[in-house]
Structure 1
Amino acid sequence: MQQMPNWDLYWTFLHVIRHGSLSAAARELGLTQPTVGRHIDTLEDLIGAQLFTRSPNGLLATDAALELQPYAAAMAANAAALVRLATAQRDAVEGTVRIGASEVIGTEVLPQILAPLLETYPALHIELSASDTVENLLNREVDIAVRMAEPTQEALLVRNVGDISLGLYAHRAYLARYGVPRTLAELKNHRLIGFDRQTAFIRSIEKRFPMSHELKFSYRTDNNLAQLAAIRSGIGIGICQDSLGQANPDLVRLLPGAFSIVLPTWIAMHENLRSSHRFRLIFDTLIRGMLAHIELASGKKMQGPLAF
Structure 2
Amino acid sequence: MNWQGVSFDWSHVRAFLATAEEGSLSAAARVLRQTQPTIGRQIAALEQDLGVTLFERSGRSVALTDAGREMLGHAKSMRAAAMHLSLVASGQSQSIDGTVRITASEVFCTHVMPTALLRLREVAPKLEVDVVSADDLRDLQMREADIAIRHVRPEQPELFARLVAETTAHLYAAPSYLAERGRPVSLADLKAHDFISFGDISRMIAFFGEQGVELSQDNFRMGSTSGSAAWAMVEQGLGLSLMADQVARRCPSVERVVSALEPVRFPIWLTTHRELHTSRRIRLVFDLLGDFLSKDAA
**Across the two proteins, how many residue pairs are aligned to each other?**
205
Q: Hey, what's the Cα distance between the residues in 1 that align with 2:240 and 2:121?
A: 36
Listed as ranges, the gaps of 5+ residues in structure 1 are: 1-90, 296-308
Max radius of gyration: which structure?
Answer: 1
Residues 206, 238 of structure 1: alpha-carbon distance in 2 compared, 3 angstrom cutoff: closer
Q: Hey, what's the Cα distance between the residues in 1 that align with 2:214 and 2:165?
A: 26
Residues 185, 217 of structure 1: alpha-carbon distance in 2 compared, 3 angstrom cutoff: same
1:16-58 deviation per Cα after TM superposition (whole angstroms, max 9, x unaligned): xxxxxxxxxxxxxxxxxxxxxxxxxxxxxxxxxxxxxxxxxxx
1:138 offset after TM fit, Å?
3.3
1:210 offset after TM fit, Å?
5.3
* Alignment partner of 1:160 is 2:167: no
* Alignment partner of 1:142 is 2:118: no
Identity %: 31
1:142-168 deviation per Cα after TM superposition (whole angstroms, max 9, x unaligned): 111101111112233211012221111
Instruction: Name the counterpart of 1:220.
Output: 223
1:36-89 deviation per Cα after TM superposition (whole angstroms, max 9, x unaligned): xxxxxxxxxxxxxxxxxxxxxxxxxxxxxxxxxxxxxxxxxxxxxxxxxxxxxx
Residues 124, 225 of structure 1: alpha-carbon distance in 2 compared, 3 angstrom cutoff: same
Q: Hey, what's the Cα distance between the residues in 1 that align with 2:229 and 2:104?
A: 16
- Aligned counterparts, 1:1-308, within 5 A: 92-198=95-201, 201-202=203-204, 205=207, 208-209=210-211, 211-214=213-216, 216-295=219-298
1:219 offset after TM fit, Å?
1.7
CA contact 2:100–2:130 (8 Å) conserved in 1: yes
Residues 132, 157 of structure 1: alpha-carbon distance in 2 compared, 3 angstrom cutoff: closer
Instruction: Name the counterpart of 1:86.
Output: none
Residues 154, 92 of structure 1: alpha-carbon distance in 2 compared, 3 angstrom cutoff: farther
CA contact 1:193–1:231 (8 Å) conserved in 2: yes
CA contact 1:92–1:277 (8 Å) conserved in 2: no
TM-score w.r.t. the length of structure 2 is: 0.62
Listed as ranges, the gaps of 5+ residues in structure 2 are: 1-93
CA contact 1:170–1:236 (8 Å) conserved in 2: yes
Q: Hey, what's the Cα distance between the residues in 1 that align with 2:205 and 2:191?
A: 18
TM-score w.r.t. the length of structure 1 is: 0.60
CA contact 1:168–1:259 (8 Å) conserved in 2: no
Q: Hey, what's the Cα distance between the residues in 1 that align with 2:114 and 2:151?
A: 18
